[in-house]
Amino acid sequence: EDQVTQSPEALRLQEGESSSLNCSYTVSGLRGLFWYRQDPGKGPEFLFTLYSAGEEKEKERLKATLTKKESFLHITAPKPEDSATYLCLTGQNFVFGPGTRLSVLP
Amino acid sequence: KAGVTQTPRYLIKTRGQQVTLSCSPISGHRSVSWYQQTPGQGLQFLFEYFSETQRNKGNFPGRFSGRQFSNSRSEMNVSTLELGDSALYLCASSSGQVAEAFFGQGTRLTVV
């Protein structure tokens, strides 16, 4: 059975304190790994798509990377507006990870 | 470019009733998927439609059903509502199964 896990479950950072979120998956023949952010009461907002090991994508303070078993979302010098739940999703089986709740304190 | 539109935004229903939720995808997108989000279970996949055909299905009972119309708009129906069906129901549209999906704001269903 395909599984997606994320760690940590929750993360509190001071503004400017860089860190990384992890998404580990056990799926056969990954066909895309997607990252989303979700604010309370809203639908997930698309961030990145990664298709092959070694691929990297960047957007503002975020950078996503992919290996054969996991993906990382690196947050550099975060700001309070980066506070949200970050979710990863495997492409072929629509399996979401449980998410990481990120809080960035001013 | 208009985003994914879900209606209604909020619903309150009584146990035993049925409900229909609607989703209008981004223009040109032929794939529509549905998810249930609860605090305890997170985001769980219900089903995916592509060109009016259900292409993928999650592990939900038969009380949950859906359909897609020729204009790609989709509806989801839940019959014989239970208290545990209270959740945020999210719809996402994409150009294909392994393409990025864009979500609507969701429909908050409360069953009393």
pLDDT in tens, B94-111: 987 667 899 999 999 999
B40 touches chain A (CB under 8 A): no
DSSP, residue by residue, A65-86: EE-SSEEEEEE-S--GGG-EEE
A96 and B42 within 8 Å at the Cβ level: the answer is yes
pLDDT tens column, B45-85: 999 999 999 999 999 999 999 999 999 999 999 999 999 99
B43 and A92 within 8 Å at the Cβ level: the answer is no
CA A80, CA A106: separation in Å to the nearest integer?
6
DSSP for residue A97: P
Q: What is the mean pLDDT of chain A?
A: 93
Q: Smallest CA–CA separation between A98 and chain B, in Å?
A: 6
For A91, name the nearest residue in chain B, comparing CA atoms only. B98
A34 and B97 within 8 Å at the Cβ level: the answer is no
Contacting residues of B for A45, CB less than 8 Å apart: 103
Share of chain A above pLDDT 90, in %: 82
Torsions phi, psi for A81 (to 5 deg): -70, -5
B100 touches chain A (CB under 8 A): yes
Task: Identify which of B45, B92, B101 has the shortest CB distance to residue A95.
Answer: B45
A46 and B48 within 8 Å at the Cβ level: the answer is no
pLDDT of residue B37: 96
Q: How confident is the model at residue B1 (pLDDT cuts 50, 70, 90)?
A: low
SS3 A5: strand
Half-sphere exposure of A75 (CA within 13 A, CB side): 27
B104 and A43 within 8 Å at the Cβ level: the answer is yes
Q: Where are the alpha helices (DSSP H) in chain A?
A: none
pLDDT of residue A54: 95
Q: Which of A36, A40, A42 is nearest to A88 (CA)?
A: A36
B41 touches chain A (CB under 8 A): no
- Residues of chain A predicted below pLDDT 50: none
pLDDT of residue A91: 77
CA B6, CA B90: separation in Å to the nearest integer?
8
Give the H/E segment covering residue A36.
strand A33-38
pLDDT of residue A101: 97
pLDDT of residue A60: 95
CA A14, CA A106: separation in Å to the nearest integer?
6
For B37, name the nearest residue in chain A, comparing CA atoms only. A43
The single-letter code of the amino acid at B41 is: Q
pLDDT of residue B11: 97
B39 touches chain A (CB under 8 A): no
Could you tell me if B73 and B20 are in contact, meaning their C-beta atoms sit under 8 angstroms apart?
A: no
CA B80, CA B83: separation in Å to the nearest integer?
10
DSSP, residue by residue, B29-87: --EEEEEEEETTTEEEEEEEEETTEEEEE-S--TTEEEEE-TTS-EEEEE-S--GGG-E
Could you tell me if A73 and A15 are in contact, meaning their C-beta atoms sit under 8 angstroms apart?
A: no
pLDDT of residue A29: 76
Q: Smallest CA–CA separation between B71 and chain A, in Å?
A: 23
